[in-house]
A and B are shown apart, each in its own frame.
Chain A
Amino acid sequence: DAGVIQSPRHEVTEMGQEVTLRCKPISGHDYLFWYRQTMMRGLELLIYFNNNVPIDDSGMPEDRFSAKMPNASFSTLKIQPSEPRDSAVYFCASSHRGIGNQPQHFGDGTRLSIL
């Protein structure tokens, strides 16, 4: 089975530009998570969805960040306008039947560099 697929793998753009990260979860998984990983702050949860509905977005840094899940097989994380401090690796993960005891399956991430 295909794992979680993220695109692009790398993104380099200038400050102020809009950035859109994409994720295709594992088929049949009903939870989708967006994380950000930096050396300073580690792996942080930004937002998660259950059955395409956003449940907790308290980790989203500010209004420049938005996430959508229009259907069970696709999600986007958008940053507009982007800033250098947004540079990080962004991971998407999916799981089946909840959090805690169930494994989260991660994609290989998008390495984002804002110049």
Chain B
Amino acid sequence: TQLLEQSPQFLSIQEGENLTVYCNSSSVFSSLQWYRQEPGEGPVLLVTVVTGGEVKKLKRLTFQFGDARKDSSLHITAAQPGDTGLYLCAATQGAQKLVFGQGTRLTINP
């Protein structure tokens, strides 16, 4: 059983469309991180959310932490081909271990 369930697993859309991907759990987290991974590279941190209900924006990307701190969403407005990649959410399990979801593999078609 995955601690963090991400959905959808795969998403392919056209340039200019909007999309939302989700990261869900039955556990409560003190913080949650979103990473993006491009082919042949390691994951790169996009954002950390800490407070329940928190919303953070990074250009066309909007991240939200659920009120109960059990889930998070990533919304991309007017997607571009450069947004293509694997989006991973991660949260701390126990005292000092970061656990990753399986990821959403996003493809933006020109």
Contacts and interface: CB of A to CB of B under 8 A. Distances in A.
B92 to A, nearest CB: 4
Interface residues of B, number: 22
Contacts of B42: 4, 91, 93, 106-109
B99 A103 contact: no
Interface string B41-52: 111110010100
A99 B30 CA distance: 11
B12 to A, nearest CB: 17
B59 interface: no
Interface string A73-115: 0000000000000000001010000111101111111000000
Given A42-B100, A45-B98, A100 B40 contact: no
B96 A42 contact: no
A34 to B, nearest CB: 12
Interface string A10-53: 00000000000000000000000100000000111100100000
Given A101-B48, A101-B50, A43 B96 contact: no
- A contact patch SS: strand
B102 interface: yes
Interface residues of A, number: 22
Contacts of A107: 42
A99 B88 contact: no
B64 interface: no
A10 to B, nearest CB: 10
16 contacts: A4-B42, A42-B100, A43-B43, A99-B98, A100-B30, A100-B98, A101-B31, A103-B45, A103-B48, A104-B43, A104-B45, A106-B41, A107-B42, A108-B41, A108-B42, A109-B42
Interface of A: 4, 33, 42-45, 48, 55-56, 91, 93, 98-101, 103-109
